[in-house]
Amino acid sequence: MRLGISTSRVPAYNGKKRNEFGVMSRLLILFAMALGLSAANLRAQDLVALARVLPEESTLSDQGGTVELRLSLTQPVPYRVFSLDNPRRLVIDFNEVDWIGFDAEVFDKSAQVDGLRFGVFRPGWSRMVLDLVAPLSVRSAELTTSAAGPAQVILRLEPTSDELFAANAGAPEGAFVAPRAEAVEALAPLRRQIGDRPVVVVLDPGHGGIDPGAERDDAVEADLMLIFALELKETLLRTGNFKVVLTRDSDVFVPLETRVSLARQAQADVFLSLHADAIVEGRASGATIYTLSEKASDIASQKLAERHDRSDLLAGVDLSNQDDVIAAVLMDMARTETAPRSDKLADALVVGLSNTVSVHKRPRLSAGFSVLKAPDIPSVLLELGFLSSKRDRQRLEDAQWRVDAAAGIRDALLFWAAEDAADALLLRK
Ligand SMILES: [Zn+2]
């Protein structure tokens, strides 16, 4: 079973067809399949080649009181539009398109849209998310095609009231919403490892797809973390003591809650989220290791956790159904046992990484990272370095440094797993 890539096994639009069309009007879902894509029109090469965005012929502009989006593509693709509230966003999903040459700043000339992201959302599906300054609704949406020329998605947005915007907001049936807490809870309880089987390590390369994470010069956090996770996986497997599962193994977006539920599905003994964020608040360089805490150890840590949660929102994840008080209580109870195990893991990582590379002068921090909230899996978030530091950036791009860092993490995990198994056996007595 290859749980590490189970996100890619989920069919893109996995809602029941009946429901998809049933909520069509309310949710502004505009399937364009019928417009330019009847089966008879599809030629074999259309199915093979990815549609490319034509940046020169694409604009987002204000037209009097309305906003017009024109996105030109080399060929028509199925797409749909919906809106999300808090913060107000308009989301457009496309059958995968190639964005090469597309520049959000050049494209977005509208004063009503103050932020724009685009990229892979799920394998085979691309997404564009517009941050709306004021509530806007879709007045019309069309896909124009010509026999030889490109296709064009044309959306016209008009002002609406806060109330109507809120009433119409929500991801359509079959869209990718993060799994709810109780769905995670419903899985069988994990059996704590006692050293009689391989330790299941879930590696979680941060960010991906529409959410690149930190970017400095040519360095992209999402890419660097994927490279490191794949290398670390090999390092861990060579010991023969671990089973390793990745939350993503390609440049794809995975919501935070999904990362946690993938870890549960994998029956993880350890969850390790890998990051290299950029930070403004005067943190020099070196690795830092975070555990979960309601109260952040400092303002920089709190901001970092908030920014990570926000990247889900900005990617267009609908979190409106997430609150579940009962599940939250259960989770707090389970964490009472898990938190000390996470702390020991973090301490071991500080030692392991200090032995092979270097850690920050204050390497143990805590904050409310959503990705660390699995109730019964010891979880830590590792900032391997900061992309805001040139020295860290060079280290992360250095293959030998990564070998050394992976060795430090391996040693820490071996040490922790042995101690944790001994603790579990003591508890049984
Ligand atoms: Zn990050």
What pLDDT digit, counting tens, does each position of 145-186 carry? 876 678 899 999 999 999 999 998 988 766 554 444 444 444
Give the Å distance between the CA of 399 and the centre of ligand 1: 20
Neighbours of 281 (CB within 10 A): 11
Q: What average pLDDT score do residues 10-27 get?
A: 31
Q: Which of 295, 296, 412 is nearest to 346 (CA)?
A: 412
Q: How much distance in Å is there from the Cα of 308 to the middle of ligand 1? A: 6
Q: Which tokens sit at 361?
A: 């002068």
Output the CA 143–ligand 1 centroid distance in Å.
36
Cβ count within 10 A of residue 17: 10
Kind plus residue range of the DSSP H or E element containing 209: none
Give 255 Cα–ligand 1 centroid separation in angstroms. 13
Task: Give dist(CA 103, CA 182) in Å, integer.
Answer: 40
Distance (Å) from CA 207 to ligand 1 centroid: 6
pLDDT tens for each residue of 38-54: 333 444 444 457 889 99
pLDDT in tens, 119-141: 888 878 889 999 999 999 999 88
Span 277-303, average pLDDT: 84
Interval between CA 349 and ligand 1 midpoint (Å): 18
User: What burial class does residue 186 get, using C-beta atoms within 10 Å of its C-beta: 0-12 exposed, 13-18 middle, 19+ buried?
Assistant: exposed
CA gap 236, 402 in Å, rounded: 13
Residue 277 Cα, ligand 1 centroid: separation in angstroms? 5
Residues 415-424: b if buried by 16+ CB within 10 A, e if exposed: bbbeebbeee
Cα of 214 vs centre of ligand 1, distance in Å, is 7
Q: Is residue 319 very low, low, confident or very high in pLDDT (cuts 50, 70, 90)?
A: low
Distance of CA 226 from the midpoint of ligand 1 (Å): 12
Strands (E), 228-286: 242-246, 270-275
- 185 Cα: distance to centroid of ligand 1 (angstroms): 26
Nearest to 323 by CA among 178, 194, 155: 178
Do the beta carbons of residue 276 and residue 396 sit within 8 Å?
A: yes
What's CA 383's distance to the chain center, in Å?
Answer: 16
Task: Please tell me the predicted confidence (pLDDT) of residue 282.
Answer: 63
d(CA 59, CA 68): 8
What is the side-by-side strand order in the sheet with 66-73?
Answer: 59-63, 66-73, 151-159, 136-144
160: helix, strand or coil = coil
Q: Please provide the average confidence, as pLDDT, over all residues in the chain.
A: 82
pLDDT at 210: 92
Ligand 1 centre from 222 Cα, in Å?
A: 8
Ligand 1 centroid vs 221 CA: distance in angstroms?
A: 7
pLDDT for the residue 272: 98
Other C-beta atoms closer than 10 Å to the C-beta of 299 total 10
Cβ within 8 Å of residue 26, ≥6 positions away = 168
User: What span, in angstroms and rounded, lies between the C-alpha atoms of 315 and 216?
Assistant: 20
Please tell me the distance from the alpha carbon of residue 119 to that of residue 136, in angstroms, as a whole number.
Answer: 23
CA distance 215 to 6: 27
Cα 278 to ligand 1 centre (Å): 8
Q: 275 CA to middle of ligand 1, Å?
A: 4
Residue 50 near residue 97 (C-beta atoms within 8 A): yes
Tell me, in angstroms, the distance from the centre of ligand 1 to residue 408's CA. 20
Centre of ligand 1 to C-alpha 138, Å, is: 33
CA of 28 to the centre of ligand 1 (A): 32
Can you say how many angstroms the Cα of residue 400 is from the centroid of all Cα atoms in its chain? 28
Answer for the pair 290, 371: CB distance below 8 angstroms, yes or no.
Answer: no
- 72 CA distance to ligand 1 middle (Å): 32
pLDDT band at 187 (very low <50, low <70, confident <90, very high): low
In the chain, the amino acid numbered 90 is: L
SS3 at position 286: coil
Give the confidence band of 4 by pLDDT, cuts at 50, 70, 90: very low
Q: In the prediction, which pLDDT does 184 show?
A: 47
